[in-house]
């Protein structure tokens, strides 16, 4: 039985690597648009100064995380999420893409499509791995529910993971 489990993990890992390579190829046009124009593109263009500056790397990574979330939701509308679920990854993406940098427990639960009790278990795993931490935006005002944000390490690792997924 242990051999079958190891083989299933290996097959899943190979499948995920192949899927990520395909995803990277399909993302190239999206991120080319997000990247804006290069200096070479604007040298001979008199209207270039009137255009907004291309987005920063942080903005591109944030957009990539948001796009991944949308893609996963579209996929989940066709295939059951229980077959392809990655709750920790979904939570990390949601925390990374959160506009304020912080996200509530119920939004994390919504990101993974699970009850808050299951979400709490994944939050504990991510906290143990020092990727997610509790966050109180305003300390003087009691919160209705707990909020979380990526740790510095969590943000760095997510940024690197997204960079690796999007590299040419």
* pLDDT (tens digit per residue) in 79-104: 887 788 788 999 999 999 998 888 99
Does any domain span residue 10? no
67 within some domain: yes
Q: Which domain holds residue 60?
A: 56-166
CATH number at residue 124: 1.10.10.10
Residue 39 within any structural domain of the chain: no
Asked whether residue 79 is domain-assigned, the answer is yes
Domain count, the chain: 1
Rounded to 5 degrees, what are φ and ψ at 103?
Answer: -145, 140
The reply to whether 31 falls in a domain is no
Residue 71 within any structural domain of the chain = yes
Q: 148 CB contacts (<8 Å, ≥6 apart)?
A: 95, 102, 103, 104, 105, 108, 123, 132, 133, 134, 135
In a domain, 138, yes or no: yes
**Would you say residue 36 lies in a domain?**
no
pLDDT tens for 135-163 read 887 665 566 788 999 999 999 999 999 99
Task: Express each pLDDT in 23-53 by its tens digit.
Answer: 555 555 555 554 454 445 545 666 655 667 7
Alpha carbon distance, N-terminus to C-terminus of the chain:
40
Percent of the chain residues topping a pLDDT of 90: 26
């Amino acid at each position: 039985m242990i051999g079958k489990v190891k083989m299933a993990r290996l097959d899943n890992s190979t499948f995920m690597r192949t899927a990520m390579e395909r995803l990277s190829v399909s993302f190239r046009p999206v991120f080319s648009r997000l990247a804006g124009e290069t200096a070479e593109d604007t040298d001979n263009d008199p209207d270039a100064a009137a255009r907004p500056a291309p987005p920063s790397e942080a903005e591109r990574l944030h957009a990539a995380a948001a796009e991944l979330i949308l893609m996963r939701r579209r996929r989940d509308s066709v295939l059951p999420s229980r077959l392809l679920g990655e709750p920790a990854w979904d939570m990390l993406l949601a925390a990374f893409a959160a506009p304020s940098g912080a996200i509530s427990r119920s939004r994390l639960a919504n990101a993974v499509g699970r009850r808050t009790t299951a979400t709490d278990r994944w939050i504990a795993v991510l906290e143990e791995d020092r990727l997610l931490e509790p966050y109180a935006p305003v300390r003087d005002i009691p919160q209705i529910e707990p909020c979380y944000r990526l740790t510095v390490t969590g943000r760095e690792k997510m940024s690197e993971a997204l960079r690796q997924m999007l590299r040419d």
